[in-house]
């Protein structure tokens, strides 16, 4: 996907696909995201690190793709995604796995630009919508997603079933 510069105020927001060379920046922001969620009560066992970023994002069978946001040349946000399919609607979807913007990048259009890049990719892949989940106490995220037109699916609750790797 081509890079997409977006001019906002006097600053330059640049969105581009993630690369293996972005491992340190993305993993640092991911850990900051983790600390933020822990402060809200999230107790998931965090295991994402540089090695997993490289092997699972850039190995033989990538589990995710993503975008990096730079503000005035500095990494300030990222979005990770993976493809999925909705059999009820018979359509492709793009799932947003993570969206994080560092406090220094907020209120500059970074989050919106990352979501726009994900929408562009979804269209290119024939998907008809983005989907994502939000940690219930994360009001900052709910407010952001509502501002950009996100709609809650009240009828659904996410569930999980652990699968042994053995």
Q: Which residues pair with 11 in a beta bridge?
A: 8
Full residue range of the structural domain in which residue 67 is found? 4-147
161 is a domain residue: no
The reply to whether 63 falls in a domain is yes
**CATH code for position 80:** 3.40.630.30
Q: Is residue 97 part of a domain?
A: yes
Residue 156 belongs to some domain of the structure = no
Instruction: Tally the domains of the chain.
Output: 1
Taking the model in full, what pTM does it have?
0.90
Pairing, β 91-101 against β 127-131? parallel
Q: 91-105: per-residue pLDDT in tens? A: 999 999 999 999 999
What is the spatial distance between Cα 5 and Cα 20, in angstroms, rounded to a whole number? 21
Task: Identify which has the larger pLDDT, 50 or 10.
Answer: 50
């Amino acid at each position: 996907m081509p890079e997409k510069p977006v001019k906002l105020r006097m600053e330059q927001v640049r969105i581009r696909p993630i690369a293996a060379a972005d491992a340190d920046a993305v993993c640092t922001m991911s850990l900051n995201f983790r600390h933020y969620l822990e402060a809200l009560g999230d107790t998931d066992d965090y295991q994402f690190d540089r090695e997993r970023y490289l092997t699972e994002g850039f190995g033989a069978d990538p589990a995710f793709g993503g975008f990096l946001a730079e503000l005035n040349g500095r990494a300030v946000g990222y979005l990770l995604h993976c493809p999925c399919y909705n059999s009820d609607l018979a359509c492709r979807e793009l799932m947003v796995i993570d969206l994080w913007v560092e406090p220094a990048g907020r209120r500059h259009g970074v989050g919106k630009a990352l979501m726009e890049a994900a929408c562009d990719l979804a269209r290119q892949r024939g998907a008809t919508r983005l989907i994502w989940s939000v940690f219930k106490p994360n009001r900052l995220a709910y407010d952001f997603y509502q501002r950009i037109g996100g709609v809650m699916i009240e009828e659904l609750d996410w569930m999980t079933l652990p699968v042994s790797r053995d």
